[in-house]
Amino acid sequence: MDKRYTTEGLPIVTEEILKSFFAELERNLRIDDPRVNLETWLNQIELENKFILPYLNRMSAMYPPSLTVMTASVMAGVYHLLKSQANNYKIEDLFIDDSTNLSENFK
């Protein structure tokens, strides 16, 4: 079993990805309204995994209106954090596969 994933198949987030994710988030918060990030995240989720968005909306609506945006932001953020880690693993796998293929070619 690949130790980079949970038994459910979710990527295990590394400290490197978490720090990178927070740095990007903080940078975006300095230059934009936080809702712009949330809007962008929700639009991406709707395009990539459309059945997650109704879940996020429903769960956010369970909280008082003053917490709705924050709740949606946290849930969308976790989705994108996991996505960032999964994408990082895909890139790692490309390099591992490429280096394996290269060594095979030089035998």
pLDDT tens digits for range 14-68: 999 999 999 988 888 888 766 667 888 899 999 999 999 999 999 999 999 999 9
Q: Count how many Cα atoms sit within 13 Å of the Cα of residue 93 in the half-sphere of its side chain.
A: 8
pLDDT classification of 86: cutoffs 50, 70, 90: very high
What residue segments make up the domains of the chain, in order of their start? Answer: 48-76
9: left (phi over 0), alpha (psi -120 to 50) or beta: left
Query: Is the whole-model pTM more than 0.85?
Result: no
